Amino acid sequence: ERPEALPYDLAGVRVVISAGGTREPLDPVRYLGNRSSGKQGFALARAAAQRGATVTVVAGSTADPGDPAGVEIVRVANAQHLSDEMTKRAAEADVVIMAAAVADFRPVAVAESKIKKGEAGPAPIELTTNPDILRGLVESRAAGRIPGHTVIVGFAAETGDETGGVLDHGRAKLRRKGCDLLVVNAVGDGKAFGTEDNTGWLLSASGTETALPLGSKTLMSSRILDEVRVLVPDEHG
């Protein structure tokens, strides 16, 4: 569906968005990856650009997202590269949105040459934890390496489990990450990954909780940007 007439309310606002998945290398030809399509990040980029923002997308692995007009696209392979690019670019951004599906873990060792099948059968793959880019951005802002006015937005894909529902996990994650807004997607049953429609909540650090009813990623993007706009100080937009 098409959202109502688009406001032009992000003119002069610099927005950096991460999108897609990361690929953590095992050897020159293999990686550990995920199914993120990048659609939500690219939909946000398109919507922000249409509202006048200067937009950069730092993109990992994606399905063909099309080419949003007037958006700068920087390609990265793995979580470490994504972290480097986001940290660098956040220093000159008014809004930073972590829509990427960052691998939580990466192989400890990357083989220099292709791993052979051999006679002994498969060796276990030892993993180590990737840096938490979103938390790192929040910490950098607190330390003054990113301007204090910069709005930081995270995403979370959650299912309910025996410890709580989607919203409980979302609230806990917002506190843990320390970002200004957290977009919580309810997943499971084929929802969200690679699909057109999302559903969930928009949670803010100030305590507001807005339901995001089932709708396209385009509609969801405009809802997210409406809330982001309120948090951008006027002299930066």
- Please give the residue ranges that form the binding site for ligand CTP (CB under 6 A): 79, 98, 100, 102, 104, 130, 132-134, 154-157
CB of 176 to Ca ion, least distance (A): 11
CA distances from 117 to 106, 112, 186, 201 (A): 21, 15, 39, 46
CB of 48 to ligand CTP, least distance (A): 16
Q: Which is nearer to Ca ion, 50 or 78 (CB)?
A: 78
CB of 104 to Ca ion, least distance (A): 4
CA 152 to CA 130: how far, in whole Å?
Answer: 20
CA 33 to CA 110: how far, in whole Å?
Answer: 14
Given the residues 34, 130, 185, 198, select the one marked as catalytic: 34
Considering the rule CB under 5 A, would residue 92 count as an interface residue with Ca ion? no
Q: Which is nearer to ligand CTP, 9 or 84 (CB)?
A: 84
Residues shown for the chain = 237
CB of 100 to ligand CTP, least distance (A): 5
Range 218-222 contact pairs with CB under 8 angstroms and sequence separation of 24 or more: 218/1, 218/2, 218/3, 218/43, 218/46, 218/47, 219/1, 219/3, 220/40, 220/43, 220/183, 221/40, 221/43, 221/44, 221/46, 221/47, 221/48, 222/3, 222/6, 222/47
Number of residue whose CB is nearest Ca ion: 104
Which partner in Ca ion, ligand CTP, none is near 156 (CB below 5 to 8 A by kind)? ligand CTP
191 assigned to a ligand binding site? no
133 assigned to a ligand binding site? yes
Q: Which is nearer to ligand CTP, 98 or 166 (CB)?
A: 98
- Residue at 207: amino acid letter: G
Q: Which is nearer to ligand CTP, 100 or 225 (CB)?
A: 100
34 carries an active-site annotation:
yes
The residue within the footprint of Ca ion, chosen from 11, 28, 75, 104 (CB under 5 A), is 104
- Which positions are annotated as active-site residues? 34
Binding site per annotation, positions for CTP = 104, 114, 131-134, 155, 173, 177
The binding site for Ca ion (CB under 5 A) comprises: 104
